[in-house]
Homo-oligomer: A and B are copies of this chain.
Amino acid sequence: MDTKQIGRQVLTELMGDGFLERREKTRNAFNDVLHDYTEEVCFGRTWARPGIDRKLRSILNVAMLTALNRPNQLRNHVEGALNNGCTMEELREILLHAAVYCGLPAATDSFRIAEEVLRARKLLD
């Protein structure tokens, strides 16, 4: 498999069957370079590496996206973290830890997004 194929496989494993198909429908003449970059550089080249497991990569993203203030991507990576075996208890600890370092407003925004994901999955009332 080439880097792109590897990336697409990792992305499927991370986000579930059907994700790639739905995502492919949003590809167009403008964003195709970003789709390629995401599949090849992000997932094929980086996520596919050994050395740290995918659960940790998901967790790193939850922490970094909280610090970077990127709620749209955070939502996807909370999904990914849960898919990769991160529990609700771990997620809670990670975001509470982030409150100390990134500040309370950053943690509050991330808790809200994580809650929406958890509720959609019936993991939280």
Contacts and interface: CB of A to CB of B under 8 A. Distances in A.
A64 B67 contact: yes
A111 B66 CA distance: 20
| Chain A interface helix/strand/loop/mixed | helix
Contacts of A89: 51
Contacts of A45: 41
Tally of this chain's copies: 6
Contacts of A28: 115, 124-125
B103 A51 contact: no
Which 9 A-B pairs have CB atoms at the shortest separation, nearest pair first?
A: A67-B67, A51-B93, A70-B105, A73-B105, A103-B103, A52-B93, A64-B67, A60-B63, A33-B96
Interface of A: 28-31, 33-34, 37-38, 41-42, 45-47, 49, 51-52, 56-57, 59-61, 63-70, 72-73, 88-109, 111-112, 114-115, 118, 124-125
